Each structure stands twice: as structure tokens, then as C-alpha cells.
Structure 1
Amino acid sequence: MDDFGYHTIWDITGADARLLKDAPALHDFFLDTLERSRFTVLDHLTHKFDAGGEGVTGLYLLSESHLSYHTYPENHYISIDVYTCGSNNMSINEGIQLFFGSDVQIATRTLLRGSNVIIPEEVQNETCQ
């Protein structure tokens, strides 16, 4: 089996705090987006935090890998993480822009993953500070 994959992250700032607290709306959006993009959702889980900023965390287990998100309504911020093996996961990008609106700022980065991916030497030993 080929282990090649795409690992994409979205950092979205300027999102509506009410939307970032709305666990059912977020759940429905991500589930619908994944299904429309022809990903196979095996299971899903969301958790709404009661204290602090009242954020939401969600996880979708895909046969292709996973999608997770974490919201920080007090900062108008959501992080989205999608790893898919085989197929490019950018098909969900348009839906993300439409759902969160044109006023948000979106930064997207994609890493190629897999045993045959050549990682530049300067990145191989990179650590978070």
C-alpha cells in the first residue's frame, strides 16, 4: 500500500465568536464538507468546553486518515488539521472559505508525507521552540 499523503493545516483568524462556539453547526459543516468531498467518514466526535472561551474540538476519523479542529472563540481563531493518504485534501478549501466568510484571514500550509518523500536536510531536525 502506498503511504503517500497530504497534511494540510488551516489557521483562520477573524471568525465570528458565536460560530466558533456553535458545536452543532461546526459538526454539520465538517461532516457535510467531508462527505461532499468524497472522503469516507468512519466515526466522529466533538467536545464543547464549558469553561474558558467555550471553544469546540472535533475529530473525524476517515478511511483516508483524519480531520481535526479546535476553536478559540475568545481569539476569533480556529485551527484545522487534515491528513489524507493518497488524495489531495484541498477539495475542502472552498467550503471552508464560504462557511467562515470573506472577512476572515486564512493561512494554509501543506506538507507532503510518506516514506518516499524527500525532506530537506534543514527541516529534518527542526524542533518547536
Structure 2
Amino acid sequence: MAIQANPLGLHQLLTLHVEDRKKLVQIEQFIDFTEGLLEKYNLEKVGIASHVFDNKSYTVAFCLMESHICIHTWPENKNLALDIYLCNYSQDNTEKVRQLAQEYISFFGAEVLKQVEIDR
């Protein structure tokens, strides 16, 4: 296994505006979509935790061998917060983080309100 020069990886934090309120209250669609992305990008799920609130908003955390993907939705404001972090220990996952962010933006049909990249 080759260790990367920067094993800590890339972390993206996104705040998205989503006009289709249904996407912000249908947790199963988000989970299914993310499971598909994990397979597509060859990422290994270690665990998942989720909660649906009284207003049907949800929070989901996918714990990955490579790190994590987390979401929190606010349907009353048509917003969500998304956190994608993949480390670079066994391979450089920098572009995967960027591609995952674009996949989620497309999935939600979202407008990006804030997108921050942190090189860990």
C-alpha cells in the first residue's frame, strides 16, 4: 500500500438550497442514492446512523472506512448542510470528494449557497 503525501485528504462542506421540498423529507431516497454512490466510487461503509424529526427533516451519517458523509435537512427553509470527507491514506481521493459533491448537487437539483473545501 502506497501512502500519499497528504494522507488527511479533502473535506467539503456545502450549504444547498433545494426547491423540491420532497427531497428534503424523503430519507429513503437519500440513503438509496448514497448507497449507489458508495458502490460507484468504491467506498466502504462501516456504519450508518439516521434520525427523522417531527417535521420529516432528517439527519444521516454514513461512517466510511475512508471517513464520512453527513447530511442535515431543513425543509422549512428549503436548505441542507452536507459534509463529505475522504482521507487519502491508501489512495488519493481528492477528486472523488469533488465528484461526490457534484453528484449530490445534481441529485437535489440544488443551488449552492456555500461550498468550502478544506485540505486536511
Shorter-normalised TM-score: what interval?
A: 0.7 to 0.9
Structure 1 residue 68: Cα displacement: 0.5
The SS at the match of 1:33 is helix
The SS at the match of 1:75 is coil
Number of equivalent positions: 109
After the TM superposition, which residues 1-129 of structure 1 pair with which residues of structure 2 at under 5 Å, given as runs? 3-50=7-54, 53-86=55-88, 87-88=93-94, 89-101=97-109, 104-106=110-112, 107-113=114-120
Q: Which has the higher contact order (CA 8 A, sep 6+)?
A: 2
Spell out structure 1 runs of 4+ moving beyond 3 A.
none
Structure 1 residue 39: Cα displacement: 1.4
Aligned residues of 2:84 and 2:101 also touching (Cα < 8 A): no
TM-score (norm 2): 0.81
- 1:15 to 1:46, Cα distance in 2 relative to 1, 3 A: farther
Distance 1:33 1:111 in 2: 21
Structure 1 residue 112: Cα displacement: 0.7
> How much identity, in percent, do the aligned residues show?
26
AA of the residue aligned to 2:115: T
Distance 2:34 2:103 in 1: 9
Q: Determine which structure has more spread, i.e. the larger CA radius of gyration.
A: 1
CA RMSD after TM alignment: 1.6
TM-score (norm 1): 0.76
